[in-house]
Amino acid sequence: MPSAQQLYADSIVIDATCPLLRRKSHIELYRKGGHTAICPTVGSSGDASETFRNVAGWLAFVRARDDLLLVRRAADIEEAKRSGRLGIIIHFQGGDPVEADLDLLDGYHAMGLRMLQLTYNVKNRIGDGCEERTDCGLSKFGVALVKRLDALRIVLDCSHTGYRTTMEAIELGTRPVVFSHANPKAVKDSPRNVTDDQIKAVAATGGLIGMVGYPAFVAAKEKPTTDDLIDHIDYTVQLVGIDHVGLGIDYYEGQHPFSTLEEATAMYRTSLANGRWSAQSYPPPPYHFPQGIETPDKMPHLAERLVARGYQEADIRKILGGNWMRVFRAVWGE
């Protein structure tokens, strides 16, 4: 078995949730961290006008740099690895940018959208989020949207989405479904984490759950460790097998060290006031991501700890990005 450092360097490494990249300058941290492909949050709660401009901005950003590659199919990630470029996968954390017009999905897909999350904690046209008072499942529009995602071969992401909405969406799809960033609720109880039957249902589609580093979803302490995060990996592997675990670390601007405590507190209060966050799921800052992988440039430490925990080479490669590659091939094609 190669050293942990060499294993990491040789592997395809994918972080499937990167809202930190709302500030594009942070992309250098992912390059330093040896990532192969990343998923910036390009759309969320904005309308179509705002979101199309965001997507266009990313397309221009990628075109202007020879070290980036827009990912439209699985082979593009392999090409990014071969050429030393960083693959950019356009991801929406919420379906609000679709407004009430499914044809907008065709436009987003043509521009590069490859993964869409149905809701962001609260109710929208599609269905209920996991922080909503009710759990009413998919709307009629939501049913039609899931079917259109399937037809367009856009990855269906159920993170932040209500239990019934998630389970109905999983039943409707014909391709692998994912939680791009969530942890098992059995390890850390939180409305934002997911139940064993949700994990099993996603795994049954051939999908996966991306482990998230937001501290309140990892452990009941202010500064969780990388090993605390690996506890979630262990549990999921034991529950559904090694093929259904990936990474969706969810680094974002409100965490330490990217914001001062004053800045993070202001963001926190805004999220509470608009109802997208609840105090039950999201404690007040500061937010320290797992020690050892506090920021994207430190991600190689995860491979070291996986080796120390007894994971074998093939399994580590799957966790780092191989399982995401399998899902992407199944949904997007080669």
CA distances 36 to 9, 32, 85, 89, 235, Å, are 10, 11, 7, 11, 26
- Whether 328 is covered by a domain: the verdict is yes
Residue with tokens 């367009």: 152
Nearest to 331 by CA among 121, 103, 77: 77
The single-letter code of the amino acid at 173 is: G
- Whether 166 is covered by a domain: the verdict is yes
Give the model's pLDDT for residue 265: 96
Global pTM reads: 0.97
Give the model's pLDDT for residue 1: 82
Contacts of residue 270, defined as CB under 8 A and 6 or more positions apart, other chains included, come to: none
- Whether 36 is covered by a domain: the verdict is yes
Backbone angles phi, psi at 227, to 5 degrees: -65, -30
Please give the sequence-ordered ranges of beta strands (E in DSSP) within the chain, or none if there are none. 14-18, 37-43, 68-70, 86-88, 90-93, 113-117, 155-157, 177-179, 208-211, 245-247
Nearest to 210 by CA among 309, 98, 78, 302: 302
DSSP three-state, residue 167: helix
**Residue 133: CA atoms inside 13 Å, Cβ hemisphere, count?**
1
Task: Express each pLDDT in 29-80 by its tens digit.
Answer: 999 999 999 999 999 999 999 999 999 999 999 999 999 999 999 999 999 9
- Whether 70 is covered by a domain: the verdict is yes
Handedness of CA 330, 249, 72, 52 (dihedral sign): positive
Which residue ranges in the chain fall short of pLDDT 70? none
- Whether 1 is covered by a domain: the verdict is no
Contacts of residue 266, defined as CB under 8 A and 6 or more positions apart, other chains included, come to: none
What are residue 184's DSSP bridge partners? 194
Backbone angles phi, psi at 135, to 5 degrees: -140, 70
- CATH, residue 128: 3.20.20.140
- Whether 84 is covered by a domain: the verdict is yes
DSSP three-state, residue 139: coil
- Whether 144 is covered by a domain: the verdict is yes
Give the model's pLDDT for residue 334: 80
Domain residues for 45? 13-332
Please give the tally of structural domains in the chain.
1
- Whether 4 is covered by a domain: the verdict is no
Give the model's pLDDT for residue 63: 97
Task: Express each pLDDT in 155-183 by its tens digit.
Answer: 999 999 999 999 999 999 899 999 999 99
